[in-house]
Structure 1
Amino acid sequence: MKCPCNPSKLYTNCCKKAHQNIHSVTTSEELMRSRYSAFVMGNIDYLQKSHHSATRPSNSEKKETLIWTKSIEWIKLDVLKSTENTVEFKAFFYENNSLNVIHENSFFVKENKHWVYKDAL
Protein backbone atom coordinates (compact mmCIF):
# COMPACT_ATOMS: atom_id res chain seq x y z
CA MET A 1 0.00 0.00 0.00
CA LYS A 2 1.25 3.50 -0.87
CA CYS A 3 1.69 5.90 2.02
CA PRO A 4 -0.98 8.62 2.19
CA CYS A 5 1.61 11.29 3.04
CA ASN A 6 3.82 10.46 0.06
CA PRO A 7 2.56 8.11 -2.67
CA SER A 8 6.12 7.50 -3.90
CA LYS A 9 6.78 5.54 -0.67
CA LEU A 10 5.21 2.41 0.74
CA TYR A 11 3.25 2.83 3.98
CA THR A 12 5.37 0.06 5.54
CA ASN A 13 8.55 2.09 4.92
CA CYS A 14 7.05 5.43 5.90
CA CYS A 15 4.28 6.29 8.38
CA LYS A 16 3.65 2.76 9.64
CA LYS A 17 6.81 3.01 11.75
CA ALA A 18 5.51 6.17 13.44
CA HIS A 19 2.03 4.71 13.92
CA GLN A 20 3.51 1.67 15.66
CA ASN A 21 6.09 3.60 17.72
CA ILE A 22 5.77 7.36 18.11
CA HIS A 23 9.27 7.45 19.62
CA SER A 24 10.67 6.52 16.19
CA VAL A 25 9.66 9.97 14.84
CA THR A 26 12.75 12.17 14.60
CA THR A 27 11.46 15.45 13.10
CA SER A 28 8.41 17.67 13.25
CA GLU A 29 7.80 17.11 9.51
CA GLU A 30 7.84 13.35 10.01
CA LEU A 31 5.27 13.73 12.79
CA MET A 32 3.07 16.00 10.66
CA ARG A 33 3.21 13.53 7.77
CA SER A 34 2.32 10.64 10.09
CA ARG A 35 -0.60 12.66 11.47
CA TYR A 36 -1.89 13.32 7.94
CA SER A 37 -1.71 9.58 7.23
CA ALA A 38 -3.52 8.91 10.50
CA PHE A 39 -6.33 11.27 9.43
CA VAL A 40 -6.59 9.47 6.08
CA MET A 41 -6.66 6.06 7.77
CA GLY A 42 -8.95 7.08 10.65
CA ASN A 43 -6.25 6.27 13.23
CA ILE A 44 -7.70 8.52 15.93
CA ASP A 45 -5.71 6.91 18.75
CA TYR A 46 -2.48 7.95 17.04
CA LEU A 47 -3.83 11.46 16.51
CA GLN A 48 -4.53 11.70 20.24
CA LYS A 49 -1.12 10.29 21.18
CA SER A 50 0.66 12.71 18.82
CA HIS A 51 -1.23 15.75 20.16
CA HIS A 52 0.19 17.83 23.05
CA SER A 53 -1.56 17.11 26.35
CA ALA A 54 -2.48 20.79 26.84
CA THR A 55 -4.30 21.05 23.50
CA ARG A 56 -5.43 17.43 22.98
CA PRO A 57 -9.07 17.05 21.87
CA SER A 58 -11.57 15.64 24.35
CA ASN A 59 -13.14 12.20 23.95
CA SER A 60 -16.26 13.71 22.36
CA GLU A 61 -14.10 15.69 19.92
CA LYS A 62 -12.18 12.49 19.21
CA LYS A 63 -15.43 10.80 18.12
CA GLU A 64 -16.41 13.80 15.98
CA THR A 65 -13.00 13.72 14.29
CA LEU A 66 -13.38 10.04 13.46
CA ILE A 67 -16.83 10.60 11.94
CA TRP A 68 -15.57 13.59 9.92
CA THR A 69 -12.37 11.97 8.64
CA LYS A 70 -14.35 8.94 7.44
CA SER A 71 -16.91 11.14 5.69
CA ILE A 72 -14.42 12.84 3.36
CA GLU A 73 -12.06 11.70 0.62
CA TRP A 74 -8.47 12.72 1.23
CA ILE A 75 -6.63 13.70 -1.98
CA LYS A 76 -3.06 14.71 -1.19
CA LEU A 77 -0.63 16.43 1.13
CA ASP A 78 1.75 19.20 0.04
CA VAL A 79 4.46 20.24 2.49
CA LEU A 80 5.33 23.85 1.68
CA LYS A 81 7.94 24.65 4.32
CA SER A 82 9.49 22.86 7.26
CA THR A 83 11.68 24.08 10.14
CA GLU A 84 12.72 22.41 13.38
CA ASN A 85 9.39 23.16 15.10
CA THR A 86 7.02 24.20 12.31
CA VAL A 87 5.54 22.69 9.18
CA GLU A 88 3.48 24.64 6.69
CA PHE A 89 1.30 22.37 4.58
CA LYS A 90 -1.79 22.04 2.46
CA ALA A 91 -4.03 18.98 2.81
CA PHE A 92 -6.57 18.56 0.02
CA PHE A 93 -9.84 16.66 0.40
CA TYR A 94 -13.31 16.29 -1.11
CA GLU A 95 -16.29 16.95 1.11
CA ASN A 96 -19.87 17.16 -0.20
CA ASN A 97 -18.58 16.99 -3.80
CA SER A 98 -16.40 20.04 -3.25
CA LEU A 99 -12.62 20.26 -3.23
CA ASN A 100 -11.34 21.79 0.02
CA VAL A 101 -7.94 22.54 1.46
CA ILE A 102 -6.55 22.86 4.96
CA HIS A 103 -3.65 25.34 4.82
CA GLU A 104 -1.85 25.48 8.13
CA ASN A 105 1.46 26.34 9.71
CA SER A 106 1.65 23.81 12.53
CA PHE A 107 3.78 24.14 15.65
CA PHE A 108 5.41 21.06 17.21
CA VAL A 109 7.29 20.45 20.45
CA LYS A 110 8.66 17.49 22.33
CA GLU A 111 6.63 16.07 25.20
CA ASN A 112 7.45 12.82 27.01
CA LYS A 113 10.55 12.50 24.81
CA HIS A 114 8.68 12.46 21.50
CA TRP A 115 7.34 14.99 18.99
CA VAL A 116 3.75 16.19 19.38
CA TYR A 117 1.49 18.68 17.61
CA LYS A 118 0.91 21.72 19.84
CA ASP A 119 -1.22 24.09 17.73
CA ALA A 120 -1.50 26.15 14.57
CA LEU A 121 0.42 29.40 14.27
Structure 2
Amino acid sequence: MNEINLCPCNSGKLYVDCCQPLHLNAQNALTAEQLMRSRYCAFVLHDADYLLRTWHPRTRPQTIEFEKNIVWTGLNINGRKQGRKKDQQGWVTFVAHYRVVDLEEPPQTGHLHETSFFSRDSAGHWYYEDGQIK
Protein backbone atom coordinates (compact mmCIF):
# COMPACT_ATOMS: atom_id res chain seq x y z
CA MET A 1 0.00 0.00 0.00
CA ASN A 2 1.24 3.46 -0.88
CA GLU A 3 1.33 5.70 2.21
CA ILE A 4 0.17 8.70 0.17
CA ASN A 5 -3.14 6.93 -0.44
CA LEU A 6 -3.61 5.85 3.18
CA CYS A 7 -6.37 7.62 5.05
CA PRO A 8 -5.09 10.29 7.44
CA CYS A 9 -7.36 8.91 10.19
CA ASN A 10 -4.85 6.07 10.79
CA SER A 11 -7.39 3.32 10.09
CA GLY A 12 -4.87 1.55 7.86
CA LYS A 13 -7.35 1.72 4.97
CA LEU A 14 -7.07 3.66 1.75
CA TYR A 15 -8.68 7.10 1.84
CA VAL A 16 -11.06 6.14 -1.01
CA ASP A 17 -12.29 3.16 1.07
CA CYS A 18 -12.40 4.98 4.40
CA CYS A 19 -13.23 8.66 4.92
CA GLN A 20 -13.62 9.88 1.35
CA PRO A 21 -17.16 8.43 0.86
CA LEU A 22 -18.25 10.27 4.01
CA HIS A 23 -16.58 13.50 2.90
CA LEU A 24 -18.32 13.24 -0.49
CA ASN A 25 -21.68 12.62 1.25
CA ALA A 26 -21.90 9.24 -0.51
CA GLN A 27 -22.34 7.41 2.80
CA ASN A 28 -22.99 8.23 6.44
CA ALA A 29 -20.89 7.29 9.44
CA LEU A 30 -22.18 4.09 11.04
CA THR A 31 -20.59 4.70 14.46
CA ALA A 32 -19.41 7.63 16.57
CA GLU A 33 -15.81 6.50 16.09
CA GLN A 34 -16.18 6.44 12.32
CA LEU A 35 -17.54 9.99 12.42
CA MET A 36 -14.70 11.07 14.72
CA ARG A 37 -12.09 9.60 12.40
CA SER A 38 -13.69 11.26 9.36
CA ARG A 39 -13.79 14.61 11.16
CA TYR A 40 -10.10 14.35 12.07
CA CYS A 41 -9.39 13.57 8.41
CA ALA A 42 -11.46 16.63 7.42
CA PHE A 43 -9.27 18.79 9.68
CA VAL A 44 -6.17 17.36 7.98
CA LEU A 45 -7.67 18.17 4.55
CA HIS A 46 -9.19 21.52 5.62
CA ASP A 47 -12.69 20.37 4.63
CA ALA A 48 -14.78 22.95 6.51
CA ASP A 49 -18.00 21.97 4.70
CA TYR A 50 -17.83 18.42 6.04
CA LEU A 51 -16.98 19.58 9.55
CA LEU A 52 -19.94 21.96 9.61
CA ARG A 53 -22.28 19.36 8.07
CA THR A 54 -21.40 16.83 10.79
CA TRP A 55 -21.51 19.30 13.70
CA HIS A 56 -24.77 19.28 15.64
CA PRO A 57 -26.82 22.44 14.87
CA ARG A 58 -27.18 23.14 18.58
CA THR A 59 -23.41 23.64 19.05
CA ARG A 60 -22.16 24.29 15.50
CA PRO A 61 -20.16 27.50 14.88
CA GLN A 62 -20.96 29.74 11.92
CA THR A 63 -17.58 29.17 10.29
CA ILE A 64 -14.39 27.22 10.81
CA GLU A 65 -10.99 28.86 10.63
CA PHE A 66 -8.01 26.56 10.12
CA GLU A 67 -4.69 27.40 11.71
CA LYS A 68 -2.35 27.89 8.76
CA ASN A 69 0.77 26.75 10.58
CA ILE A 70 -0.69 23.57 12.15
CA VAL A 71 -0.08 20.27 10.36
CA TRP A 72 -2.01 17.30 11.80
CA THR A 73 0.32 14.30 11.90
CA GLY A 74 -1.52 11.41 13.52
CA LEU A 75 -4.54 10.11 15.39
CA ASN A 76 -4.80 7.58 18.20
CA ILE A 77 -8.16 6.40 19.51
CA ASN A 78 -7.81 5.72 23.25
CA GLY A 79 -11.32 4.58 24.04
CA ARG A 80 -14.99 4.54 23.21
CA LYS A 81 -18.17 4.39 25.20
CA GLN A 82 -21.34 3.47 23.35
CA GLY A 83 -21.50 5.02 19.87
CA ARG A 84 -22.19 1.72 18.13
CA LYS A 85 -24.61 1.23 15.23
CA LYS A 86 -27.61 0.76 17.55
CA ASP A 87 -26.73 3.52 20.07
CA GLN A 88 -28.09 7.06 20.06
CA GLN A 89 -25.07 8.64 21.71
CA GLY A 90 -21.41 7.92 22.20
CA TRP A 91 -18.07 9.22 23.42
CA VAL A 92 -14.70 8.81 21.77
CA THR A 93 -11.43 9.63 23.53
CA PHE A 94 -8.52 10.39 21.23
CA VAL A 95 -5.14 12.04 20.90
CA ALA A 96 -4.54 14.05 17.73
CA HIS A 97 -0.88 14.89 17.10
CA TYR A 98 0.28 17.98 15.28
CA ARG A 99 3.33 19.94 14.24
CA VAL A 100 3.54 23.74 14.30
CA VAL A 101 5.40 25.01 11.26
CA ASP A 102 6.74 28.54 11.45
CA LEU A 103 9.42 29.73 9.06
CA GLU A 104 10.95 31.89 11.79
CA GLU A 105 11.00 29.20 14.50
CA PRO A 106 12.08 25.54 14.67
CA PRO A 107 9.12 23.12 14.23
CA GLN A 108 7.32 22.23 17.44
CA THR A 109 5.12 19.24 18.14
CA GLY A 110 2.06 18.90 20.31
CA HIS A 111 -1.13 16.98 20.79
CA LEU A 112 -4.81 17.48 21.49
CA HIS A 113 -6.26 14.97 23.96
CA GLU A 114 -10.05 15.09 23.97
CA THR A 115 -13.17 13.12 24.77
CA SER A 116 -15.77 14.01 22.15
CA PHE A 117 -19.52 13.56 22.57
CA PHE A 118 -21.64 12.43 19.60
CA SER A 119 -25.37 11.96 19.16
CA ARG A 120 -27.50 10.42 16.46
CA ASP A 121 -30.71 11.88 15.07
CA SER A 122 -33.92 10.01 14.23
CA ALA A 123 -32.71 9.50 10.64
CA GLY A 124 -29.60 7.71 11.94
CA HIS A 125 -27.03 10.45 11.22
CA TRP A 126 -24.23 10.89 13.75
CA TYR A 127 -23.23 14.43 14.80
CA TYR A 128 -20.39 15.86 16.84
CA GLU A 129 -21.83 17.85 19.76
CA ASP A 130 -18.89 18.92 21.88
CA GLY A 131 -15.70 17.78 23.50
CA GLN A 132 -13.78 17.95 26.74
CA ILE A 133 -10.07 18.68 26.47
CA LYS A 134 -8.00 16.46 28.77
CA distance in 2 between partners of 1:22 and 1:53 (Å) = 21
Q: Which runs of no fewer than 5 residues in structure 1 stay unpaired?
A: none
Name the structure where helix makes up a greater proportion of residues.
1
Aligned CA RMSD, in angstroms, stands at: 1.6
Contact 2:118 2:129 survives alignment (8 Å): yes
- Following TM superposition, the consecutive aligned residue runs of length 4 or more in structure 1 with deviations greater than 6 angstroms are none
Render the CA deviation track for 1:11-44: whole Å, top value 9, x for unaligned. 0010011112275210000000000000000001
**Does 2:54 match 1:47?**
no
Q: What is the percentage of aligned positions where both structures have the same residue?
A: 40
Q: Which runs of no fewer than 5 residues in structure 2 stay unpaired?
A: 84-89, 102-106
Query: Who is 1:89 aligned against?
Result: 94
Aligned length, in residue pairs: 115
**Structure 1 residues 106, 49: closer, same or farther in 2, change over 3 A?**
same
How big is the shift at 1:3? Answer: 0.2
Contact 1:108 1:116 survives alignment (8 Å): yes
Render the CA deviation track for 1:30-88: whole Å, top value 9, x for unaligned. 000000000000001000001010111123xx2x2x3x1x4211110000001220000
Q: TM-score, normalised by structure 2?
A: 0.79
